[in-house]
Structure 1
Amino acid sequence: MATRINSVPHPTLIQVDPFLPADEQQGLHNRWHPDIPPFVTVKPGDVFKVECVDWTGAQIGNNDNSDDVRDVDLTKVHNLTGPIAIEGAEPGDCLVVDILDVTPFEKMPWGYTGIFELRNGGGLFAREFNSRACKAIWDFHGVYATSRHIPGVRFAGVSHPGLIGTAPSHELLAQWNKREKELIDAHPGAVPPVAFPPEPVGAHVGQLGLSDNLKERIAREGARTIPGREHGGNCDIKNLSRGSRCYFPVFVRGANLSVGDLHFSQGDGELSFCGAIEMAGIITFKTSIIKNGVEKFALKQPIFLPSPIDPVYSSKLVFEGISVDYHGDGKQYNMDATVAYKQAALNAIAYLQKLGFTREQAYILLSAAPIEAHVGAVVDSPNACVTLALPVGIFDFDILPKEEGLQKRDLGQCAVRSDGLL
């Protein structure tokens, strides 16, 4: 007979409701600040689960228009679960985090990918496309995702946290805010913004018993969670999946680990700002500490071991891009890998349109599917070369080039605004 004794489930230390607004829930926060106290504390070696809302905090619905994407309140986003203190962690240590599992909620087996408005979020091609809100809803079937808004594709997800990191020290927070303010000041009125300064409006720390003064200071000084930084944060690395081991620098006592922005799947680059398959779900961790790890490993930023579990798509169609804006004004750039990546992506989008996908569907698909981007060369001035590899096996039909050309299908359109604007 099976033995009940010693069959102890791993505890869920922080629970959330994925259908409720994040700012109505405890155990969540959406700013980085060293004075946010830990919500729970664990011992090194403990295995535990925490639950996460989607990155917008339940602002997006499973429906067939994109008005919710158009109207997202970006002051409230990236609702992180935590902070989680690890006993014995001190500044200068290395926090080792094993990501043991990442799953959607059983009661919410769907996610979404969105194109954001030029003036509300942006995205890689926000200016080129003068972006209007669009989205695709994805249904989860075990490891696979399909979408009624992008027919003809089915792929296995590489589920991962888009956002995971330790709390900054007061000194590091001040550095972030100073350098990002200088960047904002150097680009006044930029659309989309070049950075997001501290913003008290929409700040949330879901903990009871905090003084008004503390909450006000966190809201006034806290760093926004949009970019990745030295502590980790919103780096959107798709290979931080089940089985990954991460090494984070520790800046405050307890490390104060936080996590959120779970993704069912994502391509390298996450093009469209809300470019993964965003989901709410559950993540399982195990942690340990390496004393004085920052010095031992020259740990200026996190390092990690990628997941041993990846979907196998051996056949890929690879698009090249160089640092010449040949989809725009033809300007020559010097060794600019971002320009090269954009050209590779635009080449892929143009190809997908020949198959019958709309530009919006192609943009979303390259964001959500497990595409691979690589820097081919950054030594041959003036042209950096970047490649974008599109798995052939995710399509229900043949997409390879042929003598007679490509067959164009009617594949509909993703969910657009109720006023029809694109």
Structure 2
Amino acid sequence: MPEQLFPLDSSRPFTNQDIIGHNRYHPDIPAAVQVRPGSTFRMDCREWFDGAIKNDDSAEDIRDAPMSKVHALSGPVRIEGAEPGDLLIVDILDMGPIPQEDSGPLAGQGWGYTGIFAKRNGGSFLVDQFPDAYKAVWDFHGEVATSRHVPGVSFTGITHPGLMATAPSADLLSRWNRREGDLIATDPNRLPPLALPPEPQDAVLGTLSGAEFDRVAGEAARTAPPRENGGNQDIKNLTRGTRVFYPVFVPGANFSVGDLHFSQGDGEITFCGGIEMGGFIDLHVDVIKGGMDTYGVSENAIFMPGKTPPQYSEWLAFSGTSVTLDGKQHYLDSQLAYQRACLHAIDYLTKFGYSPEQAYLLLGAAPIEGRFSSVVDIPNACATVYLPTAIFDFDVRPSASGPVQIDPGIGAPRAEGS
């Protein structure tokens, strides 16, 4: 096993560990640990809500999920000699649920969860059609996931970190806050909000304290969206064997990781769309001096995907175009087209006996493929969703005999008052 650089005790909350991580971005958050280029090491990661979501048949915890606490990130890790303008090379060597803990109260101890978020608490990709909070708990059997809330399916997950990033410079942080603040100002009372401004409540900033803590907490960016530093990209193919090249904006790079997923479909479409878990990740880091200018990577990471995803070879694909449900034409709106493709897949799966919410949770958790298939033919963009047929315990393909009727079981729990 590589050197354990950032250990976490499962019996203690994120803020009561020997090494304290962070849940905001700011250049002045001190590095928690330091390594040299060429180092290989292990980091433990807490589930993004630090244990707030339970293994039960209620969705009230999803409804009331404490958004001000996310994400519980391990780091920052200072890489000796890394300077602004360099590229940080991060190799994902291995990762998985919490080691040697196959049962327990934390996601990652033999189980994980997917949630459809309530409109008033973040919402989801299909928030207008699914405004309430729902949850599915998934049990882990090696690399395979099954759920009592979505019966009739089992699949091999593409385990990956939802979030890896370097720290922003002061200038970059200022640009984030300015542009996102301008966006919020266009519709400040919108639900869900257009963006999340700095939020001092529940900020975790490593070893900072006193007046310096208060200053940084008032300026630090939330970790919810992806940005130029990487961040919460939720790319399911950042798995074992992946090499990522991150731009470096501050001395030492100050790299962080978290938000581990046992599996996820393209887009993390339910917002809490992967199968969330705590666990470990083994990494190797190196530096390309001056790499940002050399390779034209001034912002946003580039990566080489791992070669070990599940080997699904047969798919049932659904398409959508940029026309709303009520028939309004949009111009080459690829996101709308992808929403319509997802809704078509959900409608299809309900014909087999699933509730719409069960189908939606499945699409968020299973390794579906999402593609922008046409973005040039005005006025309609076309997007497609590829659903692997082998994940079902029954034949999901269309046939002359009609759809098999499955037992939907106890269904996906819904929170009242969402």
Normalised by the length of structure 1, the TM-score is 0.94
> Equivalent of 2:264, from 253, 263, 266?
266
Q: Secondary structure at the match of 1:352?
A: helix
Distance in 2 of aligned mates of 1:217 and 1:157? 41
> Equivalent of 2:347, from 322, 345, 350?
350
- Read off the aligned partner of 2:175 and give its amino acid letter: Q
Task: Say if 2:246 is the partner of 1:245.
Answer: no
Q: Which residue of 2 aligns with 1:14?
A: 6
Distance in 2 of aligned mates of 1:111 and 1:396? 21
Q: Secondary structure at the match of 1:240?
A: coil
Q: Which residue of 1 aligns with 2:84?
A: 91
Task: Say if 2:360 is the partner of 1:363.
Answer: yes
Distance in 2 of aligned mates of 1:205 and 1:197? 16
- Read off the aligned partner of 1:262 and give its amino acid letter: L
- 1:144-163 equivalent positions in 2, closer than 5 A: 144-163=144-163
- 1:186-201 equivalent positions in 2, closer than 5 A: 186-201=186-201
- Contact 2:5–2:42 (CA under 8 A) maintained in structure 1: yes
Between stretches 117-126 and 388-397, larger displacement belongs to: 117-126
Summarize the Cα distance change of 1:19–1:117 in structure 2 as closer, same or farther, 3 Å threshold.
farther
- Contact 1:18–1:54 (CA under 8 A) maintained in structure 2: no
Distance in 1 of aligned mates of 2:126 and 2:415? 22
Between stretches 56-65 and 342-351, larger displacement belongs to: 56-65
Which 4+ stretches in 1 moved above 6 angstroms? none
Task: Say if 2:332 is the partner of 1:339.
Answer: no
- CA deviations 1:358-408 (Å, max 9, x no partner) are 111111100000000111111100011111000000000000001132122
Distance in 1 of aligned mates of 2:386 and 2:191? 29
> Equivalent of 2:277, from 276, 279, 287?
279
- Read off the aligned partner of 2:68 and give its amino acid letter: T
Distance in 2 of aligned mates of 1:222 and 1:81? 17
Distance in 1 of aligned mates of 2:197 and 2:89? 30
Q: Secondary structure at the match of 1:29?
A: coil
- CA deviations 1:267-312 (Å, max 9, x no partner) are 0011111000000000000000000111011112100000110101
Q: Secondary structure at the match of 2:335?
A: helix
RMSD across aligned positions (CA): 1.2
Q: Which residue of 1 aligns with 2:105?
A: none
Q: Which residue of 2 aligns with 1:5?
A: none
Distance in 2 of aligned mates of 1:151 and 1:234? 29
Q: Which residue of 2 aligns with 1:256?
A: 254
- Read off the aligned partner of 1:124 and give its amino acid letter: F
Q: Secondary structure at the match of 1:271?
A: coil
Distance in 1 of aligned mates of 2:110 and 2:39? 28
- Contact 1:265–1:369 (CA under 8 A) maintained in structure 2: yes
- 1:21-170 equivalent positions in 2, closer than 5 A: 21-25=13-17, 26-105=19-98, 106-107=100-101, 108-129=109-130, 131-170=131-170
Between stretches 100-109 and 256-265, larger displacement belongs to: 100-109
Q: Secondary structure at the match of 2:25?
A: coil
- CA deviations 1:3-29 (Å, max 9, x no partner) are xxxxxx411111113454323333311
Distance in 2 of aligned mates of 1:45 and 1:73? 37
Q: CA deviation at 1:127?
A: 2.1
Q: CA deviation at 1:126?
A: 1.4
Unaligned runs of 5+ in 1: 1-8
Q: Which residue of 1 aligns with 2:309?
A: 310
Q: Secondary structure at the match of 1:119?
A: helix
How many residues matched?
A: 408
Q: Which residue of 2 aligns with 1:3?
A: none
Q: Secondary structure at the match of 2:259?
A: strand
- Contact 2:357–2:412 (CA under 8 A) maintained in structure 1: no
- Contact 1:20–1:57 (CA under 8 A) maintained in structure 2: no
- Read off the aligned partner of 2:7 and give its amino acid letter: Q
- CA deviations 1:229-248 (Å, max 9, x no partner) are 00000000000000000000
Unaligned runs of 5+ in 2: 102-108
Distance in 2 of aligned mates of 1:180 and 1:413? 41
- Contact 2:132–2:415 (CA under 8 A) maintained in structure 1: no
- CA deviations 1:149-178 (Å, max 9, x no partner) are 111100001100000000000000000000
Distance in 1 of aligned mates of 2:177 and 2:79? 26
Q: Secondary structure at the match of 1:23?
A: coil
Q: Which residue of 2 aligns with 1:382?
A: 379
- Read off the aligned partner of 2:287 and give its amino acid letter: I
